Amino acid sequence: MSRSKIFLIGLVIVVVIVAGVTLRRGKPVAVAAEGVKSALTVTTVRPEVRVWSERVTASGSVTAWQEAIIGAEIGGLRLADVLVNVGDKVKKGDVLARYADEMVLNGIHQQEAALDEAKAKFADADLKAQRATKLNESGVMSLQDRQQVETVAKTAEAQMKTAEAKLEAEKIRMGYTRVRAIDDGVISSRTATVGAVSQTGSELFRLIRRNKLEWHAELPEQQLQRVRIGQTVIFHPADGQQSVHGVVTRIAPMLDAQSRNGMAYVELPADKSMRAGMFVQGEFVLGTSDALTLPQSSAIMRDGFAYVFRLGKDNRVEQVKVATGRIRGERIEITGGIGADAAIVGLGAGFLMDGDVVRVENAAADIPAKAASSPAPRQE
């Protein structure tokens, strides 16, 4: 037999031996592969107790705390000047508009002249009354003549007082030619037009008193019973700005007969993100309570229910149905289904099925339950 044939036969024998050994060693691996799915790498977390505020969400309109109507207190005069516009801030007593005052000024001059005339007549009548008194004492003048002189004097005095009152009225009318702000605030509406001749009582401006706004929140009966005066209300502006905090100032004593809803009135701070007429949503802070929480990535929604994957023996996960509650930031409250000592899959939960074997990347599953729950709850 040639040397090449002997080498070939030897090579075949070596290949057969190696193949046999490989088959014997690979048989258990093949069985495991048939019974176990491919492992996924995940992280695990434990539920964490945090102190969360209890909140009730409601919607409603933002309105002016009080909107004052500023109208014309004098009629028949031409509006000569308008000094403010919508959005202007004013102080109590500031002049908002001016009427042409020539006619009123002329009336004042007339009443001043009439008052001077009345004073002169009264002075003359009073002097005659004094003379009549002296003559009556000497017996020269009769009682009837003396009473007649005194009556003339009293009539002249009454006419003088009437003239004084008319002059004062004209001065008041002169004051009405200046339309003034009745309080501090912001002009919310303007109908005054230069050149217009308005009638008494015509609306010229509207003023948001003290620039204060309030939110009218409509709440169902059950939720309204939990609201108290002085509670904080949190608003989250849509543009991502910092949240705004209001305070409950009043609660309606009656409910709507049709909807059975009631109204809560919330005072708002001066903030650019809040404007009268807006329809916003707010959260009433009713108190605080402990919440068993997990990252939102741990809870997945399937068929309308929330589930988490709990890590068990041999790194096999179990799909557990849980009840959820409040949500704060990236965490969600778990109100039922698991305990505080459970090891729950965090990242990667959305790719798992019940019974899958996983590879745990972190060591959260080995943390004892007592160690995981020992820190004091965080308040949020």
Tell me, what CATH number does 359's domain have?
2.40.420.20
> Do 185 and 81 fall into the same domain?
yes
User: What is the span of the domain harbouring residue 150?
Assistant: 101-176
> Do 309 and 326 fall into the same domain?
yes
Write out pLDDT tens, residues 139-177.
667 777 778 888 888 999 999 999 999 999 999 999 999
As a whole number, mean pLDDT of residues 212-217 equals 94
pLDDT > 90: percent of the chain: 49
The CATH number linked to 219 is 2.40.30.170
User: Other C-beta atoms within 10 Å of 265: how many?
Assistant: 18
Which of 287, 322, 353 delimits the end of a domain? Answer: 287
> Do 145 and 160 fall into the same domain?
yes
> Do 22 and 70 fall into the same domain?
no
> Do 293 and 372 fall into the same domain?
yes
Interaxial angle between packed helices 143-176 and 102-138, expressed in degrees from 0 to 180 and rounded to the nearest 10: 160
For 257-304, give the DSSP string: TTT-EEEEEEEE---TT--TT-EEEEEEEEEEEEEEEEEGGG-EEETT
In the predicted model, is pLDDT for residue 240 greater than 70?
no
Structure tokens at 331: 């965490």
- The model carries a pTM of 0.62
In the predicted model, is pLDDT for residue 370 greater than 50?
no
DSSP state of 315: G
Structure tokens at 221: 């009966």
Give the closest residue to 347 by CA, choosing from 69, 40, 48: 40
Q: Which of 107-116, 141-150, 223-232 has the lowest mean pLDDT?
A: 141-150
Which of 159, 176, 193 delimits the end of a domain? Answer: 176
> Do 249 and 192 fall into the same domain?
no
> Do 139 and 153 fall into the same domain?
yes
> Do 185 and 316 fall into the same domain?
no
Give the closest residue to 355 by CA, choosing from 292, 312, 307: 312
> Do 216 and 266 fall into the same domain?
yes
For 177-223, give the DSSP string: TEEE-SSSEEEEEE---TT-EEPTT-EEEEEEETT-EEEEEEEEHHH
Q: State the sign of the Cα–Cα–Cα–Cα dihedral 107, 113, 116, 120.
A: negative
Task: List beta partners, residue 78.
Answer: 197
Q: How far apart are CA 380 and CA 378, in angstroms?
A: 6
> Do 162 and 111 fall into the same domain?
yes
The CATH number linked to 162 is 1.10.287
> Do 90 and 189 fall into the same domain?
yes
Which of 256, 287, 318 delimits the end of a domain? Answer: 287
pLDDT band at 239 (very low <50, low <70, confident <90, very high): low
> Do 78 and 196 fall into the same domain?
yes
pLDDT band at 20 (very low <50, low <70, confident <90, very high): very low
Written in H, E and C, the secondary structure of 57-114 is EEEEEEEECCEEEEECCCCCEEEEEECCCCCCEECCCCEEEEECCHHHHHHHHHHHHH
Domain count within the chain: 5
Write out pLDDT tens, residues 60-90.
999 999 999 999 999 999 999 999 999 999 9
Spell out the long-range contacts of 116-119 with Cβ–Cβ below 8 A and sequence spacing 24 or more.
117/163, 118/156, 118/159, 118/160, 118/162, 118/163, 118/164, 119/160, 119/163
| pLDDT at position 5 | 52
